[in-house]
A and B are shown apart, each in its own frame.
Chain A
Amino acid sequence: MRGGFRQSMAWLHTWSGLLVGWVLFAVFLTGTVSYFRPEISLWMRPELHAARDAPEAAENVLRRMQTLAPNSANWIVTLPSARDPVARVFWRDSSAGGSRFRRAILDPATGEDLPARDTLGGDFFYTFHYQLHHVPVLWARWIISFCAMFMLVAILSGIVTHRRIFADFFTFRPRKGQRSWLDGHAVAAMLALPYHLMITYTGIVTLMLMTMPWGVQLAFKGNNQAFTAAVFGLERPPPRSGQAVPLAPIGPMLAEASHHWGGAQPGRITVNNPGDATATVQVFRVDDDRLSVNRQLVTFNGVTGAMISASGGDRPAAETRGVMVGLHRGVFGGGVMRALFFLSGLMGTVMVATGTILWAVKQRQKLGARAGYGTRLVEVLNVAAIGGLPIAMAAYLWANRLLPVAMAQRAEWEVHVFFIAWGVAALHPLLRSHRRAWMEQLGLGALLLLLLPALNAATTHSHLGVTLPAGQWALAGVDLVALALGTALGFAARQVGRAPAEPQRARRAGHRTSPAPAE
């Protein structure tokens, strides 16, 4: 385009970022909180807070599954872990309707059902960040992939545009209107630039089988199952023989699998054709002890307990994919690593938010009152997305505590509350002046988050007064992060609520001349 490479990339950066900015903001924010998906899920099910892992968990759970689903084609058992102290089971059940799967949460100590309130927990944010909600799954994933590709282009062209990155990084000029937004945008982008590139590219890669199937078309004649079987070393279980044979004890199989991995722990068990002569048991290694989440599994004969095969961990491309997905999920490095990823994700969220705000501020500054519908639309969408989504997410957590535990379709209603709150937040800026809309939405978001620990204390027995002394950081963390984010939103609301930019500058200039102790 005209005006050289940098100008054309600046143009590309502006438009590739702005056109999908609001979707990207939602993806970044819901994806960022998903680093703490198990913690949020646990927080949202107070009934499980007393559950503890137990040494014989696998035995207890499989014993229970024999009465719960004796004729199922397969059981999928996620064993308890430090982050999630309960066992989660899924099993295939042709009478289950839609999903053909049933699920339960079992007590590791007894194998009995743990009744917990009906909620999607942190899974809602997690699935929202790559397949939205109320949108057909494939459509949604294509939309997210498309937007993520725009994001990748926006980041790359942004690097070209902000070529003086390092110089700009040290020239943050607060409260200078458009200039501050530009600086803030550059700082948020700079601080975690490798993270932004990584998370965008690896995010696209997680959905690549859907968006880039042409290699599979060519080399596997479009047979996705044959391809995934080749990549992951999974084989289709044989059909049931109908001859009932009890399952071999699981303990020795887990021990052998662990030995095969040099002491690493098993995280998941799949039992195919349980109780049948053709039964097989697949033991999967936990994936939070290494960078690559490429699955490593050992398959056993379910009747004799003898090892049949082991796969995973020896193919360069499959491992590369595993590392990419592992980097994206951020489960490999423990709590500190996850916290850093969380902060980087927040930086990305701020980067997208300041980017779209910067566009609107620039337009306003350039055109003033003559700015047209386009500018107004961007301003409304900015408030609706950036101000509204935190309100909706907080409302979802509030609904979790306030909706009656025995309510019918309770999990659905939690999600309804999320979308109702977001919908109202999207209409609200149409009725208010731009500044008022920002103030009110940021303020409400701050209030909902700051009061969340109080609501938690009023409705459960695992509030900060209990969880902090007991060192239950998973639960306390949710309350503490809500407080921190609420404080940040409150601070933002206060900044917006100050006097308009022009008098502000004058007043600050006056401040600077007055001696410091006067403040």
Chain B
Amino acid sequence: MQQLSTPWLGQRRSSGPAAAALHPRTDLQLRLILNIGPVTDHPLTAGAQVPPKIQPSLRSGDAGRIAGIVSRSLAAILGGYGLAALAAMTLALLPGPPEEGVLWGMMASYAVMAAAAMWCFAAKSALGAWLGILIPALPLAACIWLLPGGGT
């Protein structure tokens, strides 16, 4: 039996047994039901008349994708804002006149936010998006906690 590659399952480079072992009929059914992956180049449909692809709209197969986008969006908007706020607070505690540090922090924070938002959509996965927010957030939080004028 011909092995089918199922690229729509994900961008996994290593084609593990799960990715490669689908029966052609199962594969085609999944492609049709979930409206993912091409159906015209499939061995079972080759040469057959395929109805025109219907308009993409929300369907059950998109649930995971949508959850991913929502999660990334939350990471970008809330996480990005939180990270920017931490950066602003860290700079506010730098030595020197406090109003100067506060201003530097405020002015620089939006660059942090923009970079964080871009990261959240560039990351390989939604989990990666959140980790990209949390990992730099921890040392910033530690700085605020430890620097004089912060934490306590």
- Which A residues lie at the B interface, using CB under 8 A? 1-3, 5, 8-9, 11-12, 16, 149, 152-153, 156-157, 201, 204-205, 208-209, 212, 214-220, 227, 230-231, 315-318, 320-321, 324, 367, 370-372
Contact = CB atoms under 8 A, between A and B. Distances in A.
B89 A317 contact: no
Given A1-B122, A5-B122, A372-B55, A216 B102 contact: yes
Contacts of A219: 92-93, 98-99, 101-102, 149
A324 B124 CA distance: 35
Contact of A208 (B89, B107, B150): B107
Interface stretch (B16-24, B37-45, B108-116): B108-116
Those 10 A-B pairs whose CB atoms lie nearest each other, nearest first: A215-B92, A317-B103, A215-B102, A230-B99, A219-B98, A317-B100, A215-B105, A12-B121, A208-B106, A214-B85
30 contacts: A1-B121, A1-B122, A8-B121, A12-B117, A12-B121, A152-B110, A157-B121, A201-B111, A205-B106, A208-B110, A212-B105, A212-B106, A214-B105, A215-B92, A215-B106, A216-B92, A217-B89, A218-B93, A219-B99, A219-B101, A219-B102, A230-B98, A317-B99, A317-B103, A318-B99, A318-B100, A318-B103, A324-B107, A367-B55, A370-B54
Given A8-B121, A153-B114, A214-B85, A220 B100 contact: no
Given A152-B110, A205-B106, A205-B110, 6 more contacts: A1-B72, A149-B114, A208-B109, A212-B84, A214-B92, A215-B92
B51 to A, nearest CB: 13
Given A205-B106, A205-B110, A215-B92, A316 B118 contact: no
Nearest to A219: B98
A212 B114 contact: no
Contact of B114 (A156, A315, A318): A156
A324 B108 CA distance: 12
B65 to A, nearest CB: 9
B94 to A, nearest CB: 10
B75 interface: no
B110 A201 contact: yes
Contacts of B137: none
A216 B102 CA distance: 6
Contacts of B110: 149, 152, 201, 204-205, 208, 212
A218 B149 CA distance: 7
Contacts of B100: 315-318
A215 B114 contact: no
Nearest to A155: B114
A12 to B, nearest CB: 4
B133 interface: no
Contacts of B84: 212
Contacts of A201: 110-111
Contact of A218 (B54, B103, B104, B144): B144
B137 to A, nearest CB: 13
B3 interface: no
Interface in B66-87: 72, 76, 84-85
Contact of B117 (A153, A217, A317, A324): A153
Contact of A215 (B11, B76, B89, B97): B89
